[in-house]
Structure 1
């Protein structure tokens, strides 16, 4: 039975952890009454996706929201007037096992404010992971936040018990970090990232030679940037993300839209100016294009267009700026070019290349493959005699696509309303 004191801590520290967007929250507050079945008051239960596409539930909490730093963007900063709490090592271990046995979760996502020192905090995070693995025989997923400034020995030890480690870069540029977190610097994050990169690669090579060698952070490392608290444009943000992918072998960069915390800090935007969720979405779409579609950052954003278009997705934005490339013949174009067509996804492009070995691809075939043909048709041709719309201007194509989307949303909304009439 979970003690009331621990549940009070859980409510505080799960709420403080929600600002870390490495996984998304999924909570409700439906109490069990009249001896019914179940109780959905799952403080700290969030969802993340594995590499094979499974959605898994994690217990997402802070070890403590006490912190020695005063970062302007952070709800746990020392000058912020919030209720404070701290778990003991045993409390986190028992919570994790208790929730796992009840089938609430499949793993643990554990971060922390920094109390006393980086090493002091990191030691306690490691003790939790180590106790779960060695004493409780817990084989579920564990994601630990590595604390910048921790010793190499502690970060190495953390990698032996955690599936993934992450070090948050916090702000996209050093200038912004100095403005909002003057006690921090990017070098304190970059150096342990480099150390982790080498350790991960080293253990992978060792595993090839010695099968029973230990796993080391098998799910890699990730980071997070706060966007919108300062004035960086999307070109700067994606440029920093690309640096991490190329130089640090990061698995993911997460983009956390600034959420107003209080109105007593003149370093920050005016209260109420939260970053629109669509900007986060566009950054994730652009990030996906860089990682899986072969796009260069400077193709998506640049000096002439430093910010992503919020009206359309970045792939469509690139296509409209490069109409000289289109239309492409779907039956002869190479895979990399087909992947750049708006409305054609990564898997659909592979299906097209495989299928055209056996027959000529026509529009009806694309629709069956899951291609958004109403979008893709502006950029494709099929045979010399097939009518194309290549003479349309970019503004006309954008208008038609947006009109189609609006019509679809209206139709979907009307259909939903009709269910209740």
Structure 2
């Protein structure tokens, strides 16, 4: 098989792994063609370096052959899809060629399991070693870690890669046992723990070699089983606390050709994935807990965002006086973010906050008006029924269609 044919198969096979971020760059029409400089096709993804820069990555699998038969995976052992395999030298060649053409700034490399977990991990590490040691490549490298691989191989991966990821795939152990019987949640968490330990050891010793300086991430598939959003968010919260993950990524299940009966034949609403990302951001950046966002079993609302849903369910805490309230509570007001809350606190040290200040700071005025008090503003409908407010503030079908 020619190298370009392998690239076609293995770049397409990698698109289901979302555990590296997308920058959300807009698509630019080129009348059906990718166009000069386009980076939104398969094979190109975006991630963030430790200093916050967004970089374009070559996103491929080393191989889509796999010993495992995970029911939700298009590359499972029993799937009838075209197969291909790169050698480590071919991946290095592709990475350097794309880099020299200024198409990418780094590499995201994952793989199906071939021969054994250790053999597969050795191949992934060899790609990173060749790039770093033989070619002095200083671009961004994200390696997918094989959970069952030996600890010394995971340690070697951390020395060469900027970020490592171990996909937990499903939020509950029972679903993993049912849909991916060859995988073990215990070994997945052991691998996460080994990466966290490597990070801590590198940080503790000033002269120690760096270890995965961009941290680790994971992925959970949404809609492949009946797990609700509450369970998903509680799993994410636990992973953030126990393993200090940088990100949990959520991937809406995509029905695959010749799907087995054990998985759905229809995809979940893409908006559900979007709401989980919004809720995840509230966990990481706003101090919310999973119980606050979803106290009872169930899913996040699709017609309103999780922050607004929380505010409507906790009307007793509103309206918030922006000239008196704690910064943490101000940041929880719908339409006001963490950065804006900090700016408002700085401003009120100088003078009283007025309604015009919120407009100047580009707050989402329609959302925040029922929930705030300023020096020259008090909501007329402070006691309005939450159901009526929800109807007034919910997203329109056109807005929801964007997701």
Corresponding residue for residue 202 of structure 1: 201
Post-superposition Cα deviations, 1:271-323, rounded to whole Å, max 9, x if no partner, equal 2x1121100110000000010101011000122x5210010000000000000
Aligned to 2:345: 353
Q: How many residues align?
A: 395
Change in 2 beyond 3 A, CA 1:363/1:53:
farther
Distance 1:191 1:135 in 2: 31
1:10 matches 2:3: no
Which residue number in structure 2 is paired with residue 367 of structure 1?
Answer: 359
Q: Would you say the 8 A contact 1:10–1:43 is kept in 2?
A: no
1:298 aligns with 291
2:47–2:57 Cα contact (<8 Å) kept: yes
Change in CA separation of 1:384 and 1:8 when aligned onto 2, cut-off 3 Å: closer
1:386/1:171 CA distance change after superposition, 3 Å: closer
* CA apart distance, 1:325: 0.6
Cα shift at 1:407: 11
CA distance in 2 between partners of 1:407 and 1:260 (Å): 24
Taking a change above 3 Å as real, the CA distance of residues 332 and 281 of structure 1, as seen in their structure-2 partners, is same
In structure 1, distance between residues paired with 2:255 and 2:98 = 32
Larger radius of gyration between Structure 1 and Structure 2? 1
1:103-118 aligned at under 5 Å gives the runs 103-118=102-117
SS of match in other structure, 1:18? helix
The whole-number CA distance in structure 1 between the counterparts of 2:398 and 2:357 is 22
With over 3 angstroms needed to count, the CA separation of the structure-2 counterparts of 1:31 and 1:216, relative to structure 1, is closer
User: Mapping of 1:18-417 within 5 angstroms?
Assistant: 18-22=15-19, 23-24=21-22, 30=33, 43-50=42-49, 53-207=52-206, 210=207, 213-269=208-264, 271=265, 273-303=266-296, 306-383=298-375, 386-402=378-394, 406=396
Structure 1 residues 407 and 131, CA gap change in structure 2 (3 angstroms): closer
Once the two structures are TM-superposed, the CA of residue 146 in structure 1 deviates from its matched residue by 0.5
Shift of 1:51: 5.4
Tell me the SS of whatever aligns to 1:58.
strand
Shift of 1:236: 0.4
CA distance in 2 between partners of 1:313 and 1:39 (Å):
31
- Find the residue that maps to 2:184 and give its secondary structure: coil
| Alignment RMSD (CA, Å) | 2.3
Instruction: Tell me the alpha carbon deviations over residues 317-367 of structure 1, each in whole angstroms, 9 at most, x when there is no partner.
Output: 000000011111011101000011000011111111011111111111011
Judged with a 3 Å threshold, the aligned counterparts in structure 2 of structure 1 residues 337 and 248 are, in CA distance, closer, same or farther, namely same
Closer, same or farther in 2 for the Cα pair 1:186/1:38, shift >3 Å?
A: closer
Q: 1:74 to 1:264 in 2, by over 3 A?
A: closer
Contact 2:354–2:377 under 8 Å retained in 1: no
Conserved 8 A contact 1:381-1:388: no
The separation in 1 between residues aligned to 2:271 and 2:40, in whole angstroms, is 29
Post-superposition Cα deviations, 1:57-85, rounded to whole Å, max 9, x if no partner, equal 10000000000000000010010000000
> TM-score under structure 2 normalisation?
0.93
Aligned equivalents of 2:312 and 2:38: distance in 1? 50
Report the 3-state secondary structure (helix = DSSP H, G, I; strand = E; otherwise coil) of the residue aligned with 2:241. Answer: helix
Contiguous gaps of at least 5 residues in structure 2: none
What secondary structure, in the 3-state scheme, does the structure 2 residue paired with 1:366 have? helix
Q: Deviations over 1:30-53 (max 9, x none)?
A: 379xxxx78989651122244555
> So what's the TM-score if we normalise by structure 1?
0.89
Superposed displacement of residue 233, structure 1: 0.4
Secondary structure at the aligned position of 1:218 is classed as coil
Contact 2:64 2:111 in 1 (8 A): yes
With a CA cutoff of 8 Å and minimum separation of 6, indicate the structure with the bigger relative contact order: 2
The 1:407/1:91 distance shift into structure 2, 3 A limit, reads closer
Over 3 Å counting, the alpha-carbon distance change for 1:249 and 1:334 in structure 2 is same
Structure 2 SS opposite 1:333:
coil
Q: CA deviation at 1:183?
A: 1.4
2:167, 2:220 within 8 Å by CA — same for their partners in 1? yes
Q: What secondary structure is seen at the aligned counterpart in 1 of 2:59?
A: strand
